[in-house]
Structure 1
Amino acid sequence: MASSPVTSTVVSLLLVAFAAGASAATFTIKNNCGYTVWPAATPVGGGKQLNPGQTWTLDVPPGTKGGRIWGRTGCSFNGGRGHCATGDCAGALSCTLSGQPPLTLAEFTIGGGGANDYYDISVIDGYNLPMDFSCSNGLNLHCVQPRCPEAYLYPADNTKNHGCRGNSNYKVTFCP
């Protein structure tokens, strides 16, 4: 028995929706510092103020490549425009560009190859905040000093990228 065009279309749309959501990731960003941090995220997320103890949750779609999350410090914003002492992104609250050094970076690619996502910490552009970056089923990367051994330290340092099974969730913690 042949299926109707409407049934085929509905089934196809459900399969596409399921596949698209299959490798999406949720990032929970937490400020454990004793001061306000203004995390930023590109290419998704933008930016937000996090007072001590607050969290921010981002849903990152599959296929996101070259993602970055960093904390900005010493910020002052008025109407979405302002300036940060570290990690500033052209004076915007909601970043569309990467921040200015120094900045400790959590870098990621969601759905970057086969069934894996990839993530790392980088201090190539300097260090401004201690950070933990973890995958729900992978390693917890820990960076609490400018030359942290678990972070990329220079451009040709290619041994610090970690794979994580797709459909994982991530946590970035400032001042772990």
Structure 2
Amino acid sequence: MASSATSSAVLLVVLVATLAAGGANAAIFTITNSCPFTVWPAATPVGGGVQLNPGETWTIDVPAGTSSGRVWGRTCCNFNGGSGSCATGDCAGALSCTLSGQKPLTLAEFTLGLGGSQDFYDLSVIDGFNVGMSFSCSSGETLTCRDSSCPDNTKLHHCNGNSNYQVVFCP
């Protein structure tokens, strides 16, 4: 009897957790290279990094509730078997970053809310500027930084939770 009651309690906890998680959706980040040169975008804590030739796009799913997320472009990279280096934005020589990049780097920064709560995002050149970038969410304004003076973009912006995002290099 105790075994059946325990199984029912576990099933109830799993069901409640599943229903609660249903309101918190992942955000889709679509990252596009519009530059006439290759960019190696990186994303932490989810995504890692890839090589994007001109015109290519990379899509990553970022879980709701992700805080302190970043996307940046790396330039002039040379990777051989997953390790190498970049002239800007390098993350300890890794193609798939788990650490933040080294200066200089233009940063798209975000914090995703849970379920329907607000997301926050900004563009930052506090760690220097290395490549032009625009950053937008589906329910907010587009932030664009084409050079090292991006004063309006360093302010924190918000959009609805469960929004999707666009990052464009060389907008």
The sequence identity of aligned pairs, in percent, is: 66
Candidates 2, 5, 8, aligned match of 1:5: 8
Deviations 1:66-107 (A, max 9, x none): 100000000000011000000000100011111011100000
Instruction: Supply the AA of the counterpart residue of 1:46.
Output: G
Shift of 1:151: 2.8
TM-score if structure 2 supplies the norm length? Answer: 0.89
Which structure 2 residues correspond to residues 123-134 of structure 1 after superposition, within 5 A? Answer: 123-134=125-136
Instruction: In structure 1, list runs of 5 or more residues that go unmatched.
Output: 153-159
- The alignment yields a C-alpha RMSD, in angstroms, of 2.0
Helix, strand or coil at the partner of 2:113: strand
Q: Distance in 1 between matches of 2:14 and 2:102?
A: 47
Tell me, yes or no, if the aligned pair for 1:23 and 1:110 is still in contact at 8 Å: no
Helix, strand or coil at the partner of 1:171: strand
Q: Distance in 1 between matches of 2:142 and 2:13?
A: 42
Shift of 1:12: 2.3
Deviations 1:11-36 (A, max 9, x none): 425403413xx242110000000010
Instruction: Supply the AA of the counterpart residue of 1:15.
Output: L
Tell me, yes or no, if the aligned pair for 2:115 and 2:162 is still in contact at 8 Å: no
Deviations 1:153-172 (A, max 9, x none): xxxxxxx0011100100000
TM-score if structure 1 supplies the norm length? Answer: 0.87
Candidates 25, 28, 36, aligned match of 2:30: 28
Candidates 15, 35, 49, aligned match of 2:19: 15
Q: In the alignment, which residue of structure 2 is the partner of 1:80? A: 82
Aligned pairs, how many? 164
2:109 is equivalent to residue 122 of structure 1: no
Q: Distance in 2 between matches of 1:92 and 1:54?
A: 21
Consecutive aligned runs of 4 or more in structure 1 exceeding 3 Å deviation? 4-11
Q: Distance in 1 between matches of 2:21 and 2:117?
A: 17
Q: Distance in 2 between matches of 1:49 and 1:122?
A: 22
Tell me, yes or no, if the aligned pair for 2:43 and 2:49 is still in contact at 8 Å: yes
Shift of 1:147: 0.7
Q: Distance in 2 between matches of 1:148 and 1:66?
A: 20
Which structure 2 residues correspond to residues 100-119 of structure 1 after superposition, within 5 A? Answer: 100-111=102-113, 115-119=117-121
Q: In the alignment, which residue of structure 2 is the partner of 1:94? A: 96
Q: Distance in 2 between matches of 1:56 and 1:169?
A: 14
Shift of 1:145: 1.2
Q: Distance in 2 between matches of 1:163 and 1:104?
A: 19
